[in-house]
Structure 1
Amino acid sequence: MNLQELLDIVQQMKPADLSLYYPQGDGAGFWAAARSAGALAQELDEIRAEAVRLDGQAIPELSYTLFSVFAETGSRLEYERVYFERRRRLNTYVLLALLAPEQAGIPEPLADILWAVCGEYTWCLPAHVPAQHDAADINRYIDLFSSETGFTLTEISLLLGERLPPLLRSRIRHEVELRIFRPFLEEGPYEWETARHNWAAVCAGSIGAAALLAVDDPDRLAGILLKTERAMGYYLEGFGDDGACLEGLGYWNYGFGYFTYYSDLLRSRSGGRLDWFRLEKVARIACFQQHCFIDGSLVANFSDSLPEVRVHTGLSHYLAGLLPEVERPPSALRAPYTEDHCSRWAPAVRNLLWSAGAPRADEAWRPASSYLPDAAWLVSRHVSEAGTFGFAAKGGHNAEPHNHNDLGQFILSGGGEVYAADLGSGEYTADYFGAGRYSYDCNGSQGHSVPVIDGRYQQAGLQFSATVLHAAASAEKDELTLELARAYGLAGLKALVRSLVWHKAGQPRLELTDSYRYEGSPASWTERFVTWRRPELLAPGAVLLPGSTGGGVEVTYDPQVVEPEITAHTYRDHFGRETLWHSLDFQVLQPGAEGELRFIFQFL
């Protein structure tokens, strides 16, 4: 779409008012009803409890010392904890004000945190601006969090309306113009405008959404929307036709969430003339969440993703109400108000707006197996009289967004416990996204259930890839066969075929076979399996991955071919906590020019 076509639509748009959020624009009626609606009682109790925690606390300061930590050490957590605590404070006091529509004005703590956020040196995180920059140019930088903040303040201003003091409303308009709209139009193009991952959706989506709420001049609004629409096109190019998000479910929640928040406002204001949800590909992306869950709150957490994910109920209900192929998630998977450590406003308020009155979902996901061919993911959720069991495995390549060197990686779970694990995302630091990325166990193949060959791990880059030889999903079994030789960059490795067969009996089992062909013989060959459980040697040919209350998974192997070795390791998880994991290594006793290594993982 060109600028003139977009301008024609913009000139006919409906007003940016409360009807974008509430039936007949009746915000007071909506929030009065929400207070007495049993369906939202738990969410509201969590918000009120957070207000009690905050009561009497001073607004934490974003000091120069905190801002400087990242440049000096590469650590992000010190500044970000305070930054996100301020956002939590903002969200909580705004939601409390909305829940009391009969009150005139706003309370002092809300006015003060709005003023404080408007006065921050930058809305960007230190990790996203150059360490050496001129303070006079600080507003030219736009990152995920600055764009989110612009959207947040603009939306709060619209929702609270005349209850906000005129000076606060004026300050918000001024700061959003200075930090978001003007640089977006005058300082770009920004690198994220053509990104094929979450940055395009979050940054452009937040700016486009804020513009839809606050920019009155049609020419200016059309100019912002033209850039936003182009960025959204690039974002969608990052998905294959299977709709899989290679960054994992957490980044689907994030990127596709902001894509949805923007697209909803665009669709509403344009009267449906601009509607991304008409695209079949967007509908397939919307279904990604229901494919990812394997066992309760456990997910296929490949890439920088957490092993357990709670759902954004607002986003989920909105998509299910719009697209019949989207399943509503079980209510038990609802993310509590305080779970988002980044304290993002847009999903927090929509968890209330879009969940009120939504139909109840089933108590659990239905059994399902999905093969996503573009991502080369096989994901299975098996339910039997013995309980729920999960299996996931992947191919792909080692240059994916938030890449891990993990071709052939698999996950096994049962009864809410993970037995073959993916470590997921570690603590984000400068080095984590720099030259040392693959020295971290959670990122390098040393921390994944894949072979170590001649002491060599998988390599990073697009050329280090897997080929899918066979993939199938049925009621009885799921199968994935991969050629992995190219993942290692070893001249002597001529073939490495990994076969994974998931037998879905009452107590399911996974059969894993690695067949290789080598020019000469490798000096060493290690079959590595990663687990949270501490493995126990049962007898020659059998190792137990124990469950916390009994049972578990028995791993059987040929003791004439391989010898087990158990090692404890630690890594720093996404929240900076030292976390224990175990490698169950099977050392091949006499590696030759050819070999077949077979293991059975049997649930007990």
Structure 2
Amino acid sequence: MRSQTIATGGDRSMHGPLSTAWLATGRTLAPPGASLPVPTATDRDVWDPSVVDPATLSRIRDRALASRGTPWAAPLGHLFARYFRDGDRAVYEQAIYDRQDRLTRAAIMAAVTREPEWLDEVTDGVVLLCEQSTWCWPAHDDTYTRHGSMLPTADDPFLDLGAGEVAGQLAWLDHLLGEQLDAYVPGLRARIRLEADRRVFTPFEQRRDWHWLGLDGDVHNWNPWIHGNVLTGALQLVASPGRRAALVDLIVEGLDRYVASLPADGAIDEGYAYWWNGACRLLEAAELLADASGADVPWSTFAAVVAFPHRMHLGGDWYLNHADGPARPPREQPWAALHRMALRIGDPAATAHAAVHRDHSSPVADERQGFGRLLQALTSPAWLAATPPSPTPPADMWFASTQVMLARAGRLALAVKGGHNGEHHNHNDVGSVVVALGGVPVVVDPGRPTYTAQTFGPRRYEIWTMQSTWHSTVSIGGVAQGHGRGFAASEAASERCGSYHEMVLNVKDAYPAAGIHRWLRTARLSRSPETVTLRDSWDLDPSLTGSVIHLVLAGAVTLAPGRAEVTALDGAGTLLISWDPAGTSAALLPRTLDDPMLSDVWGARLTRLDIDVSGLGPIGTLELTLKEQR
């Protein structure tokens, strides 16, 4: 997909798959009210309380009743300014999320019950959003750099993920409840349109310097996430046919820029966790375009993209994580969206992987995933009827585009990452390995702590989870990896045969130290017997001393000469790690976890095993063997 030529800067000679499909329709769209693929609340065959999925309705009703009559969450000014003072963004953003989630629940209750009390709740929530100083999240707003202000600049709104999410939510709400709102509170829908226009549509048309457009060649997950929400809003809230079509022109042009950035193997350099708000957002936007315009979207183009979540699965709730993603992300993902896309493309394994998460005693979706996603899950006959099948074991994978190998053999799995240290949401992790036992990571990538101003600032790599020393990599001559695209793996290759799958790469260029002639890392998963072998071979200048091989471990760790044992999390078993030469010095360094983004995944601590190979000389080899201790 990277070979496609995508026009930029408003050039309508669009050549990507979505642009081509859109132009073939003659740029025609169904009118507002008929463009979004969800029945409105007037359709009682869908929204009568006796019909709506009972588990979902029960949870939404309970939560909605618990909050009704209480004060709404308040995203206060000093909380917004706090981001610029001390870097905290979470408290303000949590108030925003709580406000939007409460409005989503009220809208569902209004659609189901048609009771005035719920329409009052909807009215209050909509007006609060419309009177909010900004829809932008503080970490994204350029109010300080452009205006020197720590508070939102109301007449210069920034279109970010947060603003897009509010516009999308209000568009879905307007579509679902429009007739009721016109009868009960005339004027509310006009206010929605006014605010969406001045905060989203007009800035989207007039400013072309948004970094997430990808006009500079750097395309990331903001692109489809925001474009998809702007598309939702334009389809429902913009009355002028000419303006709607012009907005869709810009949207599909931008989406195709993201399509062009996707590699043919479907890999996402931001990892599994960001698939849901990157590639999945693209697929959902393509689906909206097809439904609203009749565009013949070439779904087969996205087959590898749809397969990615299943291919990253280790077992249970565990996934291979890269970059800022957690190894155990929240179970409540928008599985209904993946299920729809997998059915469209005809991928039985991806369809089954999504359907495994369809528990008929649990809600079909969670409101935190977004109003549109909840509505579509609630009204998708295929998702409502889906039954959990026996899971399909994923195949071994080699993603040449990101230099990631993931191999499986019985109860062991091995992942190795090459790539470079300028990837999106990058951690300095060239050459890192992950080993899972029974689907549970034991040699791990820690993930990331709670986002703050430091996370995406110049001091990002002072955060310990972003450093190569806290990934299962090496320190060469006492030096950690550098950050930036130039710090990369070379000679990366993957070989698979009947008895093993291995990856070989040279990591020397990932380090800023001089005198590294070569550091070759070979990681192999053998199938009989099930064993992981990690071999490091080096050729260094004799002046480089203090080289250490790091393994970051989750679980209870004991150390003995030449070996370590790790009792894995979740009762998955025990992993035995041994090395040759056995007399090489080794030590354990525990790390207490006090951030819930980490402790909720790994528990109270991680432990780093450091094997000092300096005594083996400037030219040497150390081989580690990892296998289950039965």
Please report the TM-score for the alignment, with normalisation by the length of structure 1: 0.90
| Counterpart check, 1:401 vs 2:424 | yes
1:372 maps to 2:394: no
- Which one of the candidate residues 267, 273, 286 is aligned to 1:263? 286
Match of 2:161 in 1: 144
Shift of 1:567: 0.9
Shift of 1:78: 1.4
Query: Post-superposition shift, 1:339?
Result: 9.2
Superposed CA deviations along residues 572-598 of structure 1, whole A, max 9, x for unmatched, are 647486952111111125141211010
Match of 1:300 in 2: 320
Q: Could you tell me which residue of structure 2 aligns to residue 51 of structure 1?
A: 64
For 1:47 and 1:413, how far apart are their aligned partners in 2? 37
1:127 matches 2:127: no
Quote the Cα distance in structure 1 between the aligned partners of 2:66 and 2:497. 50
Q: How does 1:218-297 map to 2 (within 5 A)?
A: 218-273=241-296, 275=297, 277-278=298-299, 280=301, 282-297=302-317
Deviates more, 1:18-27 or 1:351-360: 18-27
Shift in Å at residue 68 of structure 1? Answer: 1.4
Question: Is this contact kept in 2: 1:294–1:379, CA < 8 A?
Answer: no
Q: Distance in 2 between matches of 1:198 and 1:469?
A: 26
Shift in alpha-carbon separation, 1:118–1:337, aligned structure 2, 3 A: farther
For 1:156, the aligned partner's letter is: L
Which amino acid is 2:89 matched to? R
Q: Would you say 1:455 and 2:478 are equivalent positions? A: yes
Matches of 2:300 and 2:26, distance apart in 1: 21
Say if 1:142 and 1:574 are closer, same or farther in 2 by CA, change over 3 A: farther
Contact persistence 2:219–2:258 (CA under 8 A):
yes
Aligned to 1:89: 102
- C-alpha separation between the residues in 1 aligned to 2:387 and 2:358? 12
Equivalenced residue count is 591
Question: Structure 1 residues 411 and 340, CA, compared in 2 at 3 Å: closer, same or farther?
Answer: farther
Provide, for residues 129-174 of structure 1, a one-character-per-residue CA deviation record: whole Å limited to 9, x for no partner: 1332485554431111101111110111011121122221111111
**Segment drifting more, 117-126 vs 249-258:** 249-258
Contact 2:420 2:485 in 1 (8 A): yes
Aligned residue type for 2:267: A
The residue number in structure 1 matching 2:206 is 186
Q: Report the secondary structure of 1:261's partner residue.
A: helix
2: CA distance between counterparts of 1:196 and 1:574?
A: 30
Q: Which deviates more, 321-330 or 196-205?
A: 321-330
Change in 2 beyond 3 A, CA 1:340/1:374: farther
- Runs of 5+ unmatched residues, structure 1: none
Contact 1:314 1:353 in 2 (8 A): no
Give the letter for the 1:191 counterpart: H
Matches within 5 A, 1:24-39: 27-32=43-48, 35-36=50-51
Identity score, percent: 25
The corresponding residue for 1:467 is 490
Q: Which amino acid aligns with 2:573?
A: G
CA contact (8 A) 1:406 1:450 kept: yes
The alpha-carbon distance between structure 1 residues 135 and 412, as it changes in their structure 2 partners (threshold 3 A), is closer
Instruction: Note the alpha carbon deviations across 1:428-449, whole angstroms, 9 max, x for none.
Output: 1111111111111211101100
Matched AA of 1:353: T
User: Matched residues in 2 for 1:409 and 1:348: separation?
Assistant: 37
Q: Deviations over 1:212-264 (max 9, x none)?
A: 22223222122211221121122123321111111111211012232222211
- Name the residue aligned to 1:60: 73
Q: Give the 3-state SS of the residue equivalent to 1:128 in structure 2.
A: coil
**1:551 Cα offset (Å):** 3.4
Distance 2:586 2:61 in 1: 53
Alignment check: 8 A CA contact 1:425 1:573 kept: no
Question: What SS class does the counterpart of residue 545 from structure 1 fall into?
Answer: strand
Asked if the contact 1:122/1:138 (under 8 Å) is kept, the reply is no
The equivalent of 2:84 in structure 1 is 71
Give the match's secondary structure for 1:140. Answer: coil
CA contact (8 A) 2:12 2:249 kept: yes
Distance (whole Å) between structure 2 residues aligned to residue 13 and residue 593 of structure 1: 67
Partner of 2:4: none
Separation in 2 of the partners of 1:339 and 1:14?
27
Query: Residues 1-20 of structure 1: matches in 2 within 5 Å?
Result: 3=12, 9=25, 12-18=28-34, 20=36
- Comparing 526-535 with 214-223, greater Cα deviation is found at 214-223
Deviates more, 1:174-183 or 1:220-229: 220-229
- Given the superposition, is the C-alpha separation of residues 172 and 572 from structure 1 closer, same or farther in structure 2, using an over 3 Å criterion? farther
Of the three residues 525, 534, 545, the one matched with 2:566 is 545
Instruction: Sort the Cα spacing of 1:312 and 1:543 in 2 relative to 1 into closer, same or farther, 3 A.
Output: same
Give structure 1 regions of 4+ aligned residues with deviation exceeding 6 angstroms.
4-8, 23-26, 335-341
Question: Is 2:361 the counterpart of 1:344?
Answer: no
| SS of corresponding position for 1:535 | strand
The residue correspondences of 1:197-596 to structure 2 (distance < 5 A) are 197-273=220-296, 275=297, 277-278=298-299, 280=301, 282-309=302-329, 310=331, 311-325=333-347, 327-328=350-351, 329=353, 331-333=355-357, 343-354=369-380, 356-382=383-409, 384=410, 388-474=411-497, 476-505=499-528, 508-537=530-559, 539-548=560-569, 549=571, 551-558=573-580, 560-571=582-593, 573=595, 575=597, 580-588=605-613, 590-596=615-621
Q: Distance in 1 between matches of 2:39 and 2:186?
A: 27
Cα RMSD of the aligned pairs, angstroms, is 2.8
C-alpha distance in 2 between matches for 1:25 and 1:78: 34
Deviation at 1:24, TM superposition (A): 11
Match of 2:55 in 1: 42
Residue 482 of structure 1, CA deviation? 1.0
Return the letter of the residue paired with 2:133.
Y
Q: Indicate how the Cα distance of structure 1 residues 324 and 543 shifts in structure 2: closer, same or farther if over 3 A, else same.
A: same
1:72 Cα deviation after fit: 0.8
Shift of 1:332: 4.7
The TM-score, its normalising length taken from structure 2, stands at 0.87
Show the counterpart of 2:195: 175
1:26 to 1:319, Cα distance in 2 relative to 1, 3 A? farther
Higher mean alpha-carbon deviation, 192-201 vs 309-318, is at 309-318
Which letter maps to 2:401? Answer: D
Going from structure 1 to structure 2, the CA distance change for 1:431 and 1:469 (only over 3 Å counts) comes to: closer
Which amino acid counterpart does residue 190 of structure 2 have in structure 1?
S
User: Given residue 171 of structure 2, which amino acid in structure 1 is its aligned partner?
Assistant: T
Q: Which has the higher contact order (CA 8 A, sep 6+)?
A: 2
Deviation at 1:322, TM superposition (A): 0.4
Distance 1:30 1:476 in 2: 53
Amino acid at match of 1:13: L
Deviation at 1:16, TM superposition (A): 3.5
